[in-house]
Amino acid sequence: MKILKAKTSHPKKKTFLISDLVFIKKDPLPALMNGEQMIEPIEIQQHEISPVTRYGAGGVIYKEKKYSTYKGSQRINAAIQLGYDAIEGIIINEH
């Protein structure tokens, strides 16, 4: 597993698989694409997954994820393009 690590140390910092995160697909952070180190860990919201099956548009089963990105979608997009599987982040609303 290839992990994009944050330079800043934080007591609640954890490693998250990118495949477990909901994030906005947008342009990657230029600084990371230019070889700079990620300074801050991304910020993640934790969600409770409903035990009841939920349906989205057209009756398609809605796939819930436990984590969504609050701040850091550009960093995730850069990590994906650079070949990382995981990224460091902090949960901002632990249950």
What percent of the chain clears pLDDT 90, i.e. is strictly above it? 74
Does 34 score more than 80 pLDDT? yes
Q: What is the pLDDT of residues 48-87, one digit of tens each?
A: 888 898 888 898 988 888 999 999 999 999 999 999 999 9
Domains and CATH numbers, the chain: 3-91 (3.90.1530)
Say what the pTM is.
0.84
Q: From 82, 61, 80, 83, select the one nearest 21 (Cα to Cα).
A: 80
- Between 62 and 30, whose confidence is greater? 30
Q: Which residues of 11-48 are buried (b: 16+ CB within 10 A; e: fewer)?
A: eeeeebebeebbbeeeebbeebeeeeebebbbebeeee
pLDDT of residue 94: 67
